[in-house]
Amino acid sequence: MRLFAKILIGLPVLAGLTYVYYTEVKPTVIFGLRSDYAHAIPYQKIPEGLTSLRAESCRSCHKEIYAEWKTSIHSQAYRDPFFHAYWTKDKHTWVCLNCHTPLENQQPTLIKEIPRDRVERAVQEPNPQYDPDYQNEGVTCAACHVRDGVILGPFDDTAAPHPTKFDPSFRTTQLCYRCHSVVGGPAQFYNGGPCGTYAEYEGGYWMKERGFICQNCHMPEIERPVATGGPIRRGRQHLWRGGHDPEMVKRAVGIKVVAEPAEPKPGDKVRVTLTLINAEAGHKLPTGDPDRHFTVEFAVEDQKQQILESQTDTMGRWIM
């Protein structure tokens, strides 16, 4: 009887530990599903007047914008080796594609059902509209600009060889919100979202006091024709520079160095303090994925540029 009682008590404990292990210690994904990114953007047809949804099709009229996009991380969102390393580790979990290749046209399977919002239980079927070459374009033009056969944008007076429509969301942060605000799951007790950039920005100084939107920094304004032959107007560059860009980091991070004593005499010991300040970023630094980090290398050299002392520290985005 005692053995039977131990088994009765032990089974629920084992079940509980197993649940905690697979939801906390080793979950299928480290985030919760939200309705707007639980599924890919529905299949988009080619707008009248265009031959393809490919970025190359846009290039003929939007040369500068295409060239900017081509250099951006958005264009490399699927091909990025860093993404593939993590995606392979996560056994190619389908949900990652909803931000790295957001259009249904770019994905090999269709998600028909997600029982209890559990990623590993999703019911999938082959996607007959899947285009593997289009998948390689990552966050491509149509991911933001094409819906229901119409090209969406921030202007309401556009003359174009294809249907167009003004969409006010292009002048807000809502386009960025879908993929840059990934929340934690119901049983994942993080101190921030796995990708909490939007949450860090929302309600903060740069939003409330300065009225900045994501585009102010990541899509700088520029005066030029949006399309070949069009009027010169104020638009935005399609660069999306961030932590991968040294110049962007220099703008965001303030550096303060203090030596004590300030004017040492020969033989004195000097304590040097280096302080990094988030001076210009509208969110935390670093931000984004939990593995983002700064490596700070600080060295003191003599007049002959010989290193006297050095120290290396890592500043990470820890959410546990």
Q: How far apart are CA 142 and CA 316, in angstroms?
A: 34
**117 versus 81: which is more confidently predicted?**
81
Q: What's the half-sphere exposure (Cβ side, CA atoms, 13 Å) at 182?
A: 20
Q: Among the three residues 206, 241, 276, which one is the final residue of a domain in this structure?
A: 241
Q: Confirm if 209 and 190 have CB atoms less than 8 A apart.
A: no
Contact 272, 258 (CB under 8 A): yes
pLDDT of 76 strictly over 70: yes
Instruction: Decide which of 197, 224, 241 is a domain's last residue.
Output: 241
Virtual CA dihedral for 103, 106, 107, 110, nearest 10 degrees? Answer: 50
Number of domains in the chain: 2
The residue type of 220 is P
Residue 27 has pLDDT above 80, yes or no: no
Bridge partners of 109?
126
Mean pLDDT for all residues in the chain? 89
Range with the lowest mean pLDDT among 202-211, 234-243, 290-299?
290-299
pLDDT tier for residue 317 given thresholds of 50, 70 and 90: confident
What is the phi/psi pair of residue 58, to 5°? Answer: -80, -25
Asked whether 286 and 294 are in contact (CB, 8 A), the reply is yes
- Mark whether 180 and 266 lie in a shared domain: no
Per-residue CA distances from 97 to 39, 101, 134, 252, 285 (Å) = 9, 5, 13, 29, 25
- Final residue of a domain: which of 241, 262, 297? 241
DSSP three-state, residue 155 = coil
Q: Which domain holds residue 301?
A: 250-316
Give phi and psi for 123, each to the nearest 5: -95, 120
Comparing 79-93, 121-135, 139-153, the range with the smallest average pLDDT is 79-93
258's tokens? 């203090």
Task: Provide the residue type at 74 as one letter.
Answer: H
pLDDT (average), residues 251-276: 91
